[in-house]
Chain A
Amino acid sequence: MSHNSIGRDKYDAIIIGGGHNGLVCANYLAKSGRSVLVLEANQQLGGMAITREFAPGFRASAAAHLLNQMPERLVAELDLERHGLRWAAEGLPTVALNGASPPLVLGRGENERTGIDHPGEAQAFAEFNRRMERFASVLNPLLTQTPPRLGTERWTDRLNLLKTGWRIRRLGRRDMRELLRIGGMNVYDLLNEYFQSPLLQGAIGLDAVLGTNLGPRSPGTVMTLLYRLATQFGTGLRGSALPMGGLGALTSSLGAAARHSGAKICTDATVTRVLVRADKACGVRLASGQEVAATTVISSADPKASFIALVGAEHLDAGFVRQVSHLRTQGSAAKLHLALSGLPAFTNLASTAHGSRLLICPSLDYLERAYNHSKYGEFSQAAALEITLPSVHDATLAPRGQHVLSAVVQYAPYRLAGGWASQRGQFIESLIDAIAQYAPAVRSMVLASELLTPEDIEREFRVTGGHWHHEDLALDQFYMVRPVPGAAQYSTPLPGFYLCGAGCHPGGGVMGLAGRNAARQVLSEAASP
């Protein structure tokens, strides 16, 4: 569908970007009776959450490859299963590969955990989980709220702050003290307090930094871990799940649901400018030159692109623009896709466990060393990997008998010294070597490969800096200061212009709550002008 079929001249809401957050936002607005137009620049709907062919017959989720943060409630509210969402696998365990020794298996229940071999470690892990789950339960309700403004006079904001305080207080003295103590710590120190097993430390540490430009010793990484646990708290029993057909199937179902509710969706429709009249956003201009009017314009693009490229600095205050430009938006996670002629055996891994979430991160020091390289513009010599073999569960992704290996790679800096063009092949080889240490057969099975560096992600998905979460998940870019004060409640200094993407609270990951919260905010502000 192209943009010459835009339909009407004016919409209640135009949503820039058809990623999962834009589509979630479109769904809620359309369900409440608004006329909604979604404009996606790429040919394929879904933003970064798409499944695409990277070699003939082989398909993989372009960025995130597991669904473990989208709340069950959202899936149910939008009736996504009726609109085509099927599950290839749910509740996947995490397996930390251990080479010559048996791996560490972390299932959801305590009896699904094996390989914790240090004395006392099992109890320590149980205690750690108990605490973290309690903390996550305290933080989880924040995810579905519009963050309050500092110095707020609105009673709903004050009530929410009060409720959060009350939930923390109700943790009891010991746990409350522990939450306040560890809140600003780095995850390296925390995990060294709790555990001795390098493998267990590495597995949890990777969760704290996945998709970010942080290492385990970076400040505030306990908060990013708690945040991740809080987001997973709402996913119910599904846990880490694989949609049938990859992540693209999720956004397809979101698109189908939105159309069902009356939203109009156009792909291959690049917005080049938000139109502003009399200090109010009033529509958009497309690359074709066509203009479409709207009462409200909502951007799921990252904040830098939204404010500086689309709205334009001239419509915003200088101090605000400066804050936006200072956001840390450089990604350092890459994505590796391998087309394999067969299913490679992993040393010491039961053949039934191939469909798990496989980690290569033998220790926190390994992870921190991998990060060191990216700090100085190099790719990791020994990278940490989150690997899935989705074709084990989903035969639609590869030719019969053949398989897809999909890996999130930490770390690949946005700005590689010397540039990516000349070093891409070298990095792919080193990644295949890293995998081959755990699955020696893999090297001879590689039929084709694809590497998406942050630079590729920036170009292909129009995300400034190629950051999966649009900007780093860090204490100073969380909650009521995400992305910046003055735009942290989805509304922005420009009347009629809203944000709904990963750059807003509660951030990235395939969660959809930024889109849901933004829709609620748009509706409530329209109701009480």
Chain B
Amino acid sequence: MNEAHALPPHFQQPLLPTPFHERARALSQMDSFIPWAGYSTVDVFSTMEQEYFAIRNATTLFDLTPMVKYRIAGPDAARYLNRLVTRDVARLKVNRVSYCVWCNDDGHIIDDGTLFRLGEHEYRLCTAEWQLDWLLGSAIGFDVQIEEVTADIAALAMQGPTSCAVLKSMGLAHIERLRPFEIGFYASAGISLMVSRTGFTGDLGYELWVDPARAGALWDALRIAGRSRGIRPIGSRALNLARIEAGFLSPKVDFVSAESSVRIGTDRSPLELGLEWLVDFDKGHFTGRRALLEQTRRGLKRLLVCLDID
């Protein structure tokens, strides 16, 4: 049966279920769901502490489907992206991933995201917030096509020290050879999936990308394969703890996104957020470059730092 026909009209369903929703609901002990980018997602399954320690000691599954995904393709895609983000992505190879931020003309961060190079002229950009307006506005003068593909791809973050072993036991050949920020393509139990060695926890981990129709089957296979290695689903609260510990930034939490800030002076440049390693002034022009150079000349008035308290 076509799922679209089974769903009530969109105005009666303000939050959409992800392809993993039924699985997650069955395992949810706290019935704690929160909205994320138009989807209903789990905040906590059991307790945040249990889930956090699973990230650090075992393997965890986090439903990443609501992460907004854009397909960016066309002859100018590489030039377009290098003008969009502050980092030099011109040398990003096919099947590699790069973490990037992008700024407005004033050099203030709009959002961050991971950029996947899937082909010579094809990329996928994953972001926390919708960015279509800025991406399309940035496309003027470039031969690129940009479309949102969020609902076309189901995604799971699989994070924790035993994650590699679990995937290996599922038959993902040579998964241990996948280097950080590398993309590989695998098949397991008749499910073909894309795996990237990326994550938001600072631990060993992968992100699995799959056809939504096979999402449930993948979840079941992972749960079976990971049983002896302590696999458990986690909600966003535990993930948040892990990402703060790893020093990863979250837009709208650690900084106000430039295009949504209301009060003057609340938006931030990558230099002020300690992300100068993501800014390449030598790669050629990118949006915000002149403003950031000016900020460098004038000196920073504030700087976000990570405090590590033992």
User: Which residues of A have CB within 8 Å of B287?
Assistant: 317-319
Contact string, B82-94, partner A, CB cutoff 8 A, digits 1/0? 1110000000000
CB-nearest residue of chain A to B284: A314
CA distance A319 to B138 in the complex (A): 7
Q: Which of A298-335 contact B (CB under 8 A)?
A: 308, 312-322, 325
User: Which residues of B have CB within 8 Å of A325?
Assistant: 140
CB-nearest residue of chain B to A311: B141
Is B290 interfacial (CB-CB < 8 Å)?
yes
User: Which residues of A have CB within 8 Å of B289?
Assistant: 279, 317
Contact A322 B140 (CB under 8 A): yes
CA distance A315 to B285 in the complex (A): 5
Contact A308 B140 (CB under 8 A): yes
Contact A493 B290 (CB under 8 A): yes
Given A313-B83, A313-B142, A493-B290; A318-B137 close (CB under 8 Å): yes
Q: Which of B79, B105, B142, B288 neighbours the largest number of chain A CB atoms within 10 Å of its CB?
A: B105
CB-nearest residue of chain B to A317: B105
Q: Which of B123-146 contact A (CB under 8 A)?
A: 134, 137-138, 140-142
Is B60 interfacial (CB-CB < 8 Å)?
no
Contact B104 A314 (CB under 8 A): no
SS class, residues of chain A in contact with chain B? helix
Interface size on A, residues (CB 8 A): 16
Given A314-B79, A314-B83; A322-B285 close (CB under 8 Å): no
Contact string, A490-507, partner B, CB cutoff 8 A, digits 1/0? 000100000000000000
Contact string, A99-131, partner B, CB cutoff 8 A, digits 1/0? 000000000000000000000000000000000
CA distance A402 to B79 in the complex (A): 58
User: Which residues of A have CB within 8 Å of B137?
Assistant: 318-319, 321-322
User: Which residues of B have CB within 8 Å of A312?
Assistant: 141
CA distance A15 to B82 in the complex (A): 30
Contact A321 B285 (CB under 8 A): no
Contact string, A469-496, partner B, CB cutoff 8 A, digits 1/0? 0000000000000000000000001000
CA distance A318 to B138 in the complex (A): 5
User: Which residues of A have CB within 8 Å of B290?
Assistant: 279, 317, 493
CA distance A319 to B102 in the complex (A): 12
Q: Which of B82, B141, B285 neighbours the largest number of chain A CB atoms within 10 Å of its CB?
A: B141
21 A-B interface contacts by CB (under 8 A): A279-B285, A308-B140, A312-B141, A314-B284, A314-B285, A315-B285, A316-B285, A317-B104, A317-B288, A317-B290, A318-B83, A318-B84, A318-B104, A318-B134, A318-B137, A318-B140, A320-B105, A321-B140, A322-B138, A322-B140, A325-B140
List residues of B whose CB falls within 8 A of some A CB.
79, 82-84, 104-105, 134, 137-138, 140-142, 284-285, 287-290
List residues of A whose CB falls within 8 A of some B CB.
276, 279, 308, 312-322, 325, 493
Additional A-B contacts beyond A319-B104, A321-B138, A325-B140 (8; CB < 8 A): A314-B284, A315-B285, A317-B290, A318-B83, A318-B138, A318-B140, A321-B137, A493-B290
